[in-house]
């Protein structure tokens, strides 16, 4: 299976830059942890701050100005993000893809945590309780909510 997360990150960013209503519609599912790329994380944080300040559209020049001291190649990154402006992949598909990847990774962390607890011979009820709490946080958003 091809990992499309980098492309999905760019799709989310460009769509959020151009349409703040997507942020409000999906704010309970959007968060910086969906992004793996450090520059994308910072771009998302900037977009989020501008939308929270009331901007309807976030232009690429304001992103570059805000982040150029932190990231040497931010202008190139923004131009790559803007290349996804006309992609046919829907916003919801990109959001679902990134959400699924994050949940898969979080589940792997949980499995490793349970395995370590079992190896230490922790109390089985403690393991179940801890796993239940972690699993609840992983399953807080379902694919049906994104559709």
Q: What is the pLDDT of residue 143?
A: 55
Confidence of residue 81 (pLDDT cuts 50, 70, 90): very high
pTM of the model: 0.84
As a whole-number percent, the residues of the chain with pLDDT over 70 amount to: 94
| pLDDT of 3 | 82
Average pLDDT over residues 28-40: 95
In the predicted model, is pLDDT for residue 141 greater than 70? no
Sign of CA dihedral 99, 105, 109, 112: positive
């Amino acid at each position: 299976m091809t990992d499309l997360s980098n492309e999905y990150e760019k799709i989310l960013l460009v769509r959020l830059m151009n349409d703040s209503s997507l942020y409000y519609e999906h704010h309970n599912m959007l968060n910086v942890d969906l992004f793996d790329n450090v520059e994308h994380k910072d771009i998302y944080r900037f977009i989020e701050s501008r939308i929270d300040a009331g901007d309807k559209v976030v232009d690429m020049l304001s992103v570059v100005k805000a982040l150029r001291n932190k990231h040497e190649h931010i202008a190139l990154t923004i131009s790559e993000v803007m290349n996804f402006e006309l992609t046919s992949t829907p916003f919801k598909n990109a959001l679902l893809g990134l959400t699924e990847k994050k949940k898969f990774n979080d589940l792997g962390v949980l499995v490793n945590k349970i395995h370590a607890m079992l190896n230490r011979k922790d109390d089985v009820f403690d393991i179940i309780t801890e796993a239940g709490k972690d699993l609840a946080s992983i399953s807080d958003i379902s694919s049906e909510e994104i559709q």
